[in-house]
Amino acid sequence: MSVAALDGRVLVLNRLYLAVHIVSVRRALGLVYKQLAEVISVEDNRYNSYNFQTWIEVSQAKRWFEAEPYDPDDWIRGVSFELIVPRIIRLLLYDRLPASEVKFNRRNIYARDGNRCQYCGRRFPTNELTLDHIVPRSQGGESTWTNVVCACVACNVLKGGRPPWEARMTLIRKPVKPRRSPVVKLHLHHEKYRSWKQFLDAAYWSVELK
């Protein structure tokens, strides 16, 4: 079994087919197995729903007719069956609306900036990035979407406790508050998550990540 498959992301819809959350594949399958949710598969612009057992049957049928090789991150192997990783599930009893605000947190800031230092423009792994207050807190700068950006260690050290204009540094772009979760935007660039698009309405969609 691919560990990466279980750590993939699944879009969660409420009972009214409104997107409300993103969870891991592991969590999504647990909800389906407990009959709290069903798998939604988008096939030829139609929504088909499956419980845990029927999803196993669909997976086995597809596996039987699918030619080798196949992406192990798209499949989960059990003792007696193979299961396609679901990309969308629908909660059967939950009809609350999605959150109205994008959470201001480290994950979303990194995603908004694309893991790119906003001073030198280079992209870094998450563990090699820091968060920088454009106007330092020591000078009254606040922790807000428009005052916090990603910065590599070297640029953060160079900037020090100064605003960028005093350090003779320039932001590659002006930071803004995103209207929808930037993490969702990153996922939509991946072919595996394209089926999410039709459930995302910019008028109300914002997902809380935990």
pLDDT at 145: 95
H runs (alpha helix) in the chain: 3-6, 25-33, 52-65, 106-112, 153-159, 182-188
pLDDT at 205: 43
pLDDT at 189: 56
Q: Where are the domains of the chain?
A: 3-100+181-199, 106-159
Q: Which residues of the chain have pLDDT under 50?
A: 1, 69, 202-210
Q: What is the pTM of this model?
A: 0.54
pLDDT at 123: 94
pLDDT at 120: 97
CATH class for the domain made up of 106-159: mainly alpha
pLDDT at 204: 37
Contact indicator for 110, 126 with CB cutoff of 8 Å: yes
Read off the tokens for 168.
């003779």
